[in-house]
Amino acid sequence: MSLLIIDDSQEERLLLKTILEHRGYGNLFMAASFREARNYLKSHDLDTSDEKINLILLDIVMPEMDGIEMLRRIKTEDRFRDIPIIMVTGKNDLKNLEMAFSLGAVDYVSKPYNKIELMARISSALRLKREMDQRKMHECDLEKKNKELEKALNEVKVLRGFIPICAACKKIRDDKGFWQQVECYISKHSSAQFTHGICPDCMVRLYPEVKEAKRQDGGT
């Protein structure tokens, strides 16, 4: 699990980093501004990267761009939208917290840090991230299987419903109003293949001499 700490104060960044390292978190990265944070997120955005960010700790109060605006910009990019963000605030700023939650923050922690509370909130957010990743993977797998099934079904052509057929010549009228031989129509609307022969009735009608020859051979 990789965590990104965004805070303009070097002391605050190092304090958080020290607390988290003592609790077993090793992949910790720090940024002092939105530009640094975004450059880091972009350069480590591969799914196979061990340094892909799983959680962001984002300070609300910063000079050039505050945490609320950073949060908004991060969440507008699809590839970063699923990263859980915990807001860090040094005061009971309900208005900013309300705005942060509306923009997609998952939780918040207050300064000075209560270590037990901090670790509990981080653990909860990371658990949520794992569940989201598993669900997303399941949805992608399901979508892939649905596409494969849809492709297979499209390859299986089945005739159904009423088919207009000429009472005299037995040609079939297609959806565009053209009349086609039965075998042509069925070939286009099914996976059937044809082999030709002659039924007994047509044999008598088309080749009467064959029946006569058989009659003579049989003595009838």
Give the position of tokens 């922690």: 109
Question: Which string of DSSP letters, residue by residue, matches 92-138?
Answer: --HHHHHHHHHHT--EEEESSP-HHHHHHHHHHHHHHHHHHHHHHHH
Amino acid residing at 37: A
Domain enclosing residue 128, as ranges: 2-140
Each residue's pLDDT tens digit, 72-110: 999 999 889 899 999 999 767 788 899 999 999 999 999
Q: Percent of the chain beyond pLDDT 90?
A: 39
Q: What is the pLDDT of residue 47?
A: 53
Task: Kindly indicate the confidence band of residue 196, based on its pLDDT and cuts at 50, 70 and 90.
Answer: confident
**Final residue in a domain of this structure, among 86, 105, 140:** 140
Q: What is the pLDDT of residue 48?
A: 52
What is the average pLDDT value for the chain, to the nearest integer? 85
How far apart CA 95 and CA 70 sit, in angstroms, is 16
CATH number for the domain harbouring residue 72: 3.40.50.2300
Task: Kindly indicate the confidence band of residue 157, based on its pLDDT and cuts at 50, 70 and 90.
Answer: low
Residue 146 included in any domain: no
Examine the domain organization and report whether 75 and 47 are in the same domain.
Answer: yes
Examine the domain organization and report whether 160 and 54 are in the same domain.
Answer: no
Residue 177 included in any domain: yes
Structurally, how many domains does the chain consist of? 2
Question: Which string of DSSP letters, residue by residue, matches 72-97?
Answer: HHHHTSGGGTTS-EEEEESS--HHHH
Examine the domain organization and report whether 136 and 157 are in the same domain.
Answer: no
Residue 145 included in any domain: no
Name, of 18-27, 49-58, 155-164, 196-205, the range with top average pLDDT: 18-27
Task: Kindly indicate the confidence band of residue 166, based on its pLDDT and cuts at 50, 70 and 90.
Answer: confident
Examine the domain organization and report whether 25 and 117 are in the same domain.
Answer: yes
Q: What is the pLDDT of residue 46?
A: 54
In eight-state DSSP terms, residue 186 is H
Q: What is the pLDDT of residue 32?
A: 94
Q: What is the pLDDT of residue 156?
A: 58
**Final residue in a domain of this structure, among 140, 175, 191:** 140
Residue 148 included in any domain: no
